[in-house]
């Protein structure tokens, strides 16, 4: 029991597992108390927790604002209880307004709207059906009524629960189905004890609508957080992360480590890792965004599917970069002479793809046609051609050990894949630019020279 | 309005977007009605929807069972209303039992238990605090009371909402915090109108406990679905999917396409794709599994983290396979002569890694030490050595065009990466085997011969 209690206390502050284990064993060994060590540990944990909270707020101050908004919405609907005329008309039904605010108020406008609409429509539909079920059950007499009601409740719960497994419905209407089951059951069962079913449905619907609209209004009017804007930024920043890796990769791979310096000390090269697992987040944001009305530069039926397509291509590119990253830290690396032969072209390929991705990211952020990106993509493609020529030219002497060529060849080949992926991304960003009629702004500053000399345009 | 209605009806059956757009435009152009085309379309959609539901049930019959269980649980708690002695003691508070069942009953035991415990503890804690808040507010008189209550509600809602952003807490206690906000607000606000606050808390807690335990009991006793078992199976089947790809890859890559046959007609080579995005699912299952008591071969504190580690390594391997897959369908492929030189070793590497992964998967499934896998891993490692020797031996003639070597070298290099990943996976599966004391069963049938001849054991 003692062991269980300690475990529970520690796991409730589940911050660092290894130290937890140590403390637990220490406490058990010493027979708990001495409380001193334990209270010190709790103090550390609490301090850790507070600094984590502060960091969460600093990382995204919108979180603090959201929390205040949630408090505000809840305080507003609680007026139903405090203000006598309001309480007179709704009575305890006012509770539903409070419940609605707590469960419907979400971080983004889209999520709040989606839940609100789901809850409102589901309450309306389930309320109507429950009244009908109540009337039908009424016909079967006092003994038959609970049996008929029981059958109705069982059937609708089973069917609705099963429909929730359908992925297309789960994505958009899962919450609605839950509320449908809830409302239908509550209203039809309550009908057995209370004949004022219509009154019940009416009050419930009204309070849900009031709660829901309080959430939506506060969500839209007070520092709104748009899921669409978040998705837009996420797609752009993911592309930028890959761009940063690729810009740095060439120099990093071909540089000889000096003075025992470790290559793994490069956090800027690890930023792409979060892109690998971004699918769930993107899908969720797109689902929320579809509920959002026109805002800023985003229309109601904004092409969110195109964003998901760009996101999928970005992830495909990230998988290649993950393989490249493996070669950055590989033990067996090709000899300096061999690497230096293709260093220039490979660095250009990587650098130009990286610049193209950063330009594409910037184009999405500013909603301007990615004209500069096309130049970088042409440059990277022509580097691929240069590489082909270089490999064909028999630049290599006959004694070159093929074993030493393999790592370099792999890096080159993966970079070729990355160039292809980048071109695909550029194509889908251009599709988006056409759909959304991105502004055309001629690049005023000529794009930076690639390492190999003049920018080569229109070679492939 | 008409356009909106059509859009809404069609999007509610969101099955195929392209056809939706066509139908919508057709309907609008023709001025809707003619209803005929529309009703036919609806009929097709409804049929499609039903066949989708049937497929969902066939894919995993546990879904049908779960739906029936949900119906059963709800029908059981509705007895609170039908059965006079029960209704007499709880009255309308019985509603909370119904609500608890609807929102707490989840697919797996772990998810149900997690939500149930969260809901129970949060109701207890929030109820207690709300009573205290009510007493404090009572001291400030009839006019001061709503102000003090309002401040309490605002503060706790804002703080709890902010704490929900903390990732560690979100993963395990998100639902508990939501219920905490809900209960605290409801009880403290209701206290303003109803002085029987303690009675309210008591009834609410009791009905929540009854609803929650109904869910947990049905979930555990009637055809239980264990999240832990699902995670266990998911990890094993993901490994198997990679194994299937690797077993097929060698033959597929080195085979020359005949009679315009397309290589892309190989669905068995595409199974690995689902592994790329498996992280969210694995994390969710591990979170649920941590709530589950001992069941079958799984203990209460089963090493779920080790499963997540194996899952992460499997995904890392899948990223390499995604790169390999790109080369399977690449347009530019190396010449037959060049490929045939390393065909044997590469096929062995791929085949042996594949077999090792399938053995590891089988070992996890049957909870038996992966002894046979070690043999396959040794074989794949010795193939890597063979490849090194082959490349060093100057087997290649001087006129070999390096351009033609690059694709083959890349495939070989990616396969070497895959061999490394497989060895890492094997290591972590062995760690798991040690933690869980997997049975030792000597392989009775000697492992199949690799393509290159005798199995080579213990070379590297």
Q: Tell me if B193 sits within 8 A of B221, measured CB to CB.
A: no
Q: Give the nearest partner residue to A168 out of B15, B316, B388, using CB atoms.
A: B15
**Cα diameter, chain B:** 99
How many whole angstroms separate alpha carbon B114 and alpha carbon B122?
Answer: 12
**Residue A364 pLDDT more than 50?**
yes
- How many cross-chain Cβ pairs, A to B, lie less than 8 Å apart? 226
Look at residue A395 in the predicted model and tell me its pLDDT.
56
**Interchain proximity B98–A185, CB inside 8 Å:** yes
Q: Cα separations (Å) of A440 from A166, A229, B246?
A: 43, 21, 47
Q: What is the pLDDT along chain B (460 residues), one digit of tens a residue?
A: 344 334 444 444 444 444 444 445 544 454 455 667 888 889 999 999 999 999 999 999 999 999 999 999 999 998 888 877 777 777 778 888 999 999 999 999 999 999 999 999 999 999 999 999 988 888 888 788 888 989 999 999 999 999 999 998 998 999 999 999 999 998 888 877 766 788 888 888 999 999 999 999 999 999 999 999 999 999 999 999 999 999 988 888 887 665 455 555 567 778 899 999 999 999 999 999 999 999 888 887 889 999 999 999 999 999 999 988 888 776 555 566 777 778 888 899 999 999 999 999 999 999 998 888 888 989 988 888 888 887 776 555 555 667 777 778 888 888 998 999 999 999 999 999 999 888 887 665 444 444 444 443 333 3
Q: Which A residues 316-335 touch B at CB under 8 Å?
A: 316, 319-320, 322-323, 326
End-to-end CA distance of chain B: 73
Q: How many CB atoms lie within 10 A of CB B20?
A: 18
Are the C-beta atoms of A303 and A432 separated by less than 8 Å? yes
Q: Is A128 on the interface with B (CB under 8 A)?
A: no
At residue B37, what are phi and psi to the nearest 5 degrees? -60, -35
Indicate the domain borders of chain A. Answer: 63-221, 227-436
Would you say residue A14 has pLDDT above 60? no
pLDDT above 60 for A145: yes
Alpha-carbon distance of A272 to A217, in angstroms, equals: 37
Chain B closest-CA separation from residue A444 CA (Å): 38
What mean pLDDT, rounded, does chain A reach? 83
- Which secondary structure element, helix H or strand E, spans residue B65, and what is its range? helix B62-77
Give the mutation candidate from A152, A273, A413, A417 for the B interface (greatest B CB count, under 10 A): A413
Q: Are A136 and A148 in contact (CB under 8 A)?
A: yes
Interface with A, mutate which of B126, B158, B407 (most A CBs under 10 A)? B158
Helix and strand numbers (H, E) in chain A are 18, 0
> Is B9 in CB contact (< 8 Å) with chain A?
no
Position with higher pLDDT, A165 vs A190: A165
pLDDT of residue B14: 44
Query: Minimal Cα distance from A290: which residue of B?
Result: B11
Residue A4 pLDDT grade (very low, low, confident, very high; cuts 50, 70, 90): very low
What are the residue ranges of helices labelled H in B78-166?
79-82, 84-90, 94-104, 109-138, 141-163
The verdict on A95 touching B (C-beta cutoff 8 Å) is yes
pLDDT score at B27? 47
B67–A396 CB contact, under 8 Å: no
Q: How far apart are CA B55 and CA A42, in angstroms?
A: 52
Round to whole Å and give the CA distance between A295 and B311: 40
Chain B CA closest to residue A142: B82
CB contact under 8 A, B162 and A82: no
Are the beta carbons of B435 and B343 closer than 8 angstroms?
no
Q: What is the pLDDT of residues A21-73, one digit of tens each?
A: 444 554 445 445 566 788 888 999 999 999 999 999 999 999 999 999 999 99
Shortest distance, CA A324 to any CA of chain B (angstroms): 10
Residues 6+ apart with CB under 8 A from A320: A414, A417, A418, A421, B323, B326
Whether the link from the prior residue into B247 is cis, omega within 30° of 0, is: no
Residue A308 sits at the chain B interface (C-beta within 8 Å): no
Which residues from A are below 8 Å from B159, CB to CB? 67
Question: Mean pLDDT throughout A182-209?
Answer: 85
Residue A440 clears pLDDT 50, i.e. is over it: yes
Interchain CB contact of B65 with A (< 8 Å):
no
Pair B289, B304: CB distance under 8 Å? yes
CB B111, CB B66: distance < 8 Å = no
Beta bridge partners of B295: B298
**pLDDT band at A453; cut points 50, 70, 90:** very low
Chain B CB contacts of A150 below 8 Å = 75, 78, 82
Neighbouring residues of A18: CB distance < 8 A, sequence distance ≥ 6: none
Token output for B141: 């008189």
pLDDT band at A451 (very low <50, low <70, confident <90, very high): very low
Residue showing tokens 């709207």: A113
Look at residues A238, A263, A143 and name the one whose alpha carbon lies nearest to residue A192. Answer: A143
B66 part of contact set with chain A, CB < 8 Å = yes
Contact A78/B403, CB-based, under 8 Å? no
Listed in sequence order, the residues at least 6 apart from A292 whose beta carbon sits closer than 8 Å to its beta carbon are A108, A109, A110, A113, A226, A227, A228, A298, A300
Q: Which fold has domain B227-436?
A: Methane Monooxygenase Hydroxylase; Chain G, domain 1 (1.20.58)
Are B32 and B6 spatial neighbours (Cβ–Cβ below 8 Å)? yes
pLDDT score recorded for residue B270: 84
Closest-CA distance of chain B to residue A37, Å: 24
Contact of B348 with B233, CB cutoff 8 Å: no
- Residue listed under structure tokens 């839950």: A178
Looking at the complex, does the CB of residue B51 fall below 8 Å from at least one CB of chain A?
no
- Using alpha carbons, list the distances in angstroms from residue B136 to B130, B152, B158: 10, 10, 20
A204-223: average pLDDT: 93
Q: Using a CB-CB distance cutoff of 8 angstroms, which residues of chain B are in contact with residue A185? A: 74, 78, 98, 102
| B446 interfacial to chain A (CB closer than 8 Å) | no
User: Which carries the bigger pLDDT value, residue A284 or residue A372?
Assistant: A284
What pLDDT is stored for residue B332 in this prediction?
54
Instruction: Using the predicted structure, report yes or no on whether residue A337 has a pLDDT greater than 90.
Output: no
Cβ distance of A153 and B81 shorter than 8 Å: no
> What ipTM does this complex have?
0.84
Cβ–Cβ gap A388/B402 under 8 Å? no
* Distance (Å) of CA A92 to CA A78, A187, B194: 12, 15, 10
| Separation CA B449–CA B442 (nearest Å) | 17
A67 CB near a chain B CB, below 8 Å?
A: yes
Checking if the pLDDT of A459 tops 70, the result is no
Question: Does residue B158 belong to the interface with chain A, where contact is any CB pair within 8 Å?
Answer: yes
- Residues of chain B with Cβ-Cβ distance to A407 below 8 Å are 413
pLDDT at residue B223 in the model: 94
Give chain A positions within 8 Å (CB) of B98. 182, 185-186, 189
Q: Which two tokens stand for residue A134?
A: 């109540």
To the nearest whole angstrom, how far is the Cα of A12 from the nearest Cα of chain B?
A: 9
Instruction: Kindly state the greatest CA–CA separation across chain A.
Output: 99
Residue B102 CB contacts under 8 Å (≥ 6 apart), including other chains? A157, A178, A181, A182, A185, B74
Q: Please give the DSSP secondary-structure letter assigned to residue A275.
A: H
Interface test with A, best of B11, B413, B417, B421 (most A CBs within 10 A): B413
Residue A217 sits at the chain B interface (C-beta within 8 Å):
no
Res A268: pLDDT? 72
Q: Give the DSSP letter string of B238-278.
A: HHHHHHHHHHHHHHHHHSPP-TT--GGG-GGGSTTHHHHT-
Q: Rounded to an integer, what distance in angstroms lies between the CA atom of residue B116 and that of residue B123?
A: 11
What's the sign of the alpha-carbon dihedral B447, B451, B455, B456? negative
Give pLDDT, residue B396: 59
- Chain A residue whose CA is closest to B102: A182
Residue numbers in A near B183 (CB within 8 A): none
Asked if pLDDT for residue A92 goes beyond 80, the answer is no
Residues 231-260 of B with CB under 8 A from A: none
* CB-count exposure of residue A332 (10 Å: 0-12, 13-18, 19+): exposed
* B306: chain A residues, CB-CB within 8 Å: none
Closest B-chain CA to A62: B162
Q: Decide: A94 and A87 in contact? Cβ < 8 Å.
A: yes
pLDDT per residue as tens digits for the range B306-320: 999 999 999 999 999
Contact of A385 with chain B, judged by CB distance below 8 Å, is answered with no
């Amino acid at each position: 029991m003692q062991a269980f209690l300690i475990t529970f206390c520690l796991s409730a502050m589940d911050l660092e597992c290894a130290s937890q284990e140590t403390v637990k064993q220490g406490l058990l060994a010493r027979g708990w108390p001495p409380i001193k060590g334990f209270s010190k540990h709790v103090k550390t944990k609490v301090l850790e927790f507070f600094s984590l909270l502060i960091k969460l707020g600093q990382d995204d101050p919108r979180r603090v604002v959201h929390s205040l908004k949630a408090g505000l919405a809840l305080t507003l609907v609680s007026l139903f209880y405090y203000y006598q005329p309001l309480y007179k008309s709704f009575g305890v039904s006012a509770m539903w307004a409070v419940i609605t605010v707590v469960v419907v108020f979400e971080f983004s406008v889209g999520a709040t709207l989606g839940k609100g609409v789901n809850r409102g429509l589901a309450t309306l539909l389930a309320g109507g059906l429950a009244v009908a079920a109540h009337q039908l059950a009424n016909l079967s007499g006092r003994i038959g009524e609970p049996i008929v009601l029981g059958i109705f409740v069982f059937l609708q719960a089973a069917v609705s629960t099963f429909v929730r497994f359908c992925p297309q419905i789960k994505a958009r209407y899962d919450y609605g189905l839950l509320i449908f089951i809830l409302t239908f059951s509550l209203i039809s069962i309550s009908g057995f004890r209370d004949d004022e079913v219509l009154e019940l449905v009416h009050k419930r619907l009204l309070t849900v609508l009031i709660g829901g609209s309080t959430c939506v209004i506060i969500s839209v009017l007070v520092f709104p957080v748009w899921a669409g804007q978040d998705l837009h930024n996420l797609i752009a920043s993911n592309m930028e992360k890959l761009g940063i890796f690729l810009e740095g990769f060439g120099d990093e791979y071909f540089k000889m480590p000096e003075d025992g310096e470790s290559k793994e000390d490069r956090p800027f090269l690890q930023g792409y890792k979060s892109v690998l697992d971004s699918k769930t987040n993107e899908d969720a944001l797109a689902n929320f965004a579809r509920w959002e009305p026109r805002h800023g530069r985003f229309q109601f039926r904004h092409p969110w599917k195109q964003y998901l397509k760009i996101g999928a291509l970005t992830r495909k590119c990230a998988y290649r970069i993950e393989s490249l990253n493996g070669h950055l830290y590989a033990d067996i690396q090709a000899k300096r002479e061999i690497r230096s032969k293709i260093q220039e072209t490979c660095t250009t390929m990587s650098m130009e793809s990286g610049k193209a991705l950063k330009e594409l990211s910037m184009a999405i952020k500013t909603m301007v046609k990615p004209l500069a990106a096309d130049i970088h993509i042409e440059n990277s493609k022509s580097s691929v051609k240069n590489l082909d020529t270089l490999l064909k030219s028999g630049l290599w002497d006959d004694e070159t050990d093929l074993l030493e060529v393999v790592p370099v060849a792999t890096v080159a080949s993966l970079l070729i894949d990355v160039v292809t992926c980048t071109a695909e991304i550029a194509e889908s960003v251009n599709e988006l630019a056409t759909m959304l009629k991105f502004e055309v702004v001629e690049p005023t500053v000529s794009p930076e020279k690639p390492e190999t000399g003049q920018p080569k345009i229109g070679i492939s």
